[in-house]
Structure 1
Amino acid sequence: MSRAVLSLGGNLGDRAGTLRRALVALKEHGLVARSTLYETPPWGPVEQPPYLNAVAVVRGERDAAGWLTLAQELEQAAGRTRDVRWGARTLDVDVVTVTADDGTPVVSADPTLTLPHPRAAERAFVLVPWLTLDPAATLPGHGRVADLVTALPADEVAAVVRWEQLA
């Protein structure tokens, strides 16, 4: 058994519907908790529409590679294409952290799946929903999520706006 924190986001098509479908699918794979939806500005150098983002916690009989496979399956089911790095997408699912049942964080430098996610500590669109979901959350190797949010530029945090409660 392991526990994973997943970050979900999308900015093409029916953003809310896509995220809801992905979260419903996660119920079959050990969904423990999920955040509300947040609208966030795009991240990276490509001009594109705003995103809707959420964070989910899942637990099940998967290792880190298994959580990555599930994330990719969810993306494919949503019609995700990988044309431009950091470009617009129907759904992006990132594995942020994986923790073994004994509480040990899985750490990996494998380029296929680096854990914890190498840019999670600098992404308000990951940290803010995660913090609201789990105020005691920690990002292995970086510290408490609450402290990471405090360390981000205030304008980046303010740009992560609660969009609606997930049904």
Structure 2
Amino acid sequence: MERVYIGMGSNLADPADQLRSAVQALAQLPDSRLIGVSAFYQSDSLLPGQPRYTNAVAAIDSSLAPLDLLDALQAIELDQGRERQERWGPRTLDLDILLFGDRLIDEPRLKVPHYHMHARPFVLYPLAELAPASLKLSDGRTLAQLLDDCPFIGLERIPS
């Protein structure tokens, strides 16, 4: 099994409840075990005019192949009402594979580590609750270094 970190986000249909439901679904994934979930955080959308997002990170150990896990995560999104109408539009649920062990994955459907995670406090701070500060990304930077370069601005920790 490999440790996989999954970013979770929602800004529609009771976002905190969407994340709680997603955690329950992650706990039911085949050949996988839910290890932990970060606190929930709210932040403004990256695009103006959208509702605020609620984000968290989950850690699982999984023996699923990366694309099989991606398919399972997209099925969870669909089960929770996700409609893929526009790339950056509001969503009931977004589940992204942030890290998959120490793998570099460059497939048309999946890029790991997740692009731009290094610049997104709503990913890094929840991730830091679950992963060691010494965690190294493929470019050699540690999670601690990424956190130093990405201040805790615009985030609000909320009850999960």
- Same topology, TM > 0.5: yes
The alpha-carbon distance between structure 1 residues 127 and 95, as it changes in their structure 2 partners (threshold 3 A), is same
Contact 1:31 1:58 in 2 (8 A): yes
In structure 1, C-alpha distance between the alignment counterparts of 2:17 and 2:28, rounded to whole Å: 18
Q: After superposition, give the CA deviation of every residue in 1:96-126 in whole Å (9 maximum; x if it has no partner).
A: 1101xxxxx1112212101111121111111
Shift of the alpha carbon at 1:46?
4.9
Secondary structure of 1:58's aligned partner: strand
The alpha-carbon distance between structure 1 residues 142 and 76, as it changes in their structure 2 partners (threshold 3 A), is farther
Shift of the alpha carbon at 1:142?
4.9
Q: Which residue of structure 2 aligns with residue 59 of structure 1?
A: 61
Number of aligned residue pairs: give it. 156
Secondary structure of 2:58's aligned partner: strand
* 146, 155, 160: which one aligns with 1:160: 155
Given the alignment of the two structures, is residue 19 of structure 1 paired with residue 19 of structure 2, yes or no? yes
Secondary structure of 1:128's aligned partner: helix
Given the alignment of the two structures, is residue 42 of structure 1 paired with residue 40 of structure 2, yes or no? no
In structure 2, C-alpha distance between the alignment counterparts of 1:39 and 1:9, rounded to whole Å: 9
Shift of the alpha carbon at 1:149?
1.7
Q: Structure 2 unaligned runs (5+)?
A: none
Contact 1:41 1:49 in 2 (8 A): yes
In structure 2, C-alpha distance between the alignment counterparts of 1:83 and 1:26, rounded to whole Å: 24
Runs of 4+ that moved beyond 6 A: none
In structure 1, C-alpha distance between the alignment counterparts of 2:53 and 2:95, rounded to whole Å: 13
- Of 59-68 and 138-147, deviating more is 138-147
Letter of the 1:77 partner, please give it.
D
* 97, 111, 115: which one aligns with 1:95: 97
Q: After superposition, give the CA deviation of every residue in 1:108-155 in whole Å (9 maximum; x if it has no partner).
A: 221210111112111111101111222423333252222112112x3x
Shift of the alpha carbon at 1:27?
1.3
Given the alignment of the two structures, is residue 121 of structure 1 paired with residue 123 of structure 2, yes or no? no
In structure 2, C-alpha distance between the alignment counterparts of 1:109 and 1:46, rounded to whole Å: 30
In structure 2, C-alpha distance between the alignment counterparts of 1:125 and 1:70, rounded to whole Å: 23
Identity %: 33
Q: Which residue of structure 1 aligns with residue 147 of structure 2?
A: 149
Q: What is the RMSD of the two structures over their aligned residues, measured on CA atoms? A: 1.5
Q: Structure 1 unaligned runs (5+)?
A: 100-104
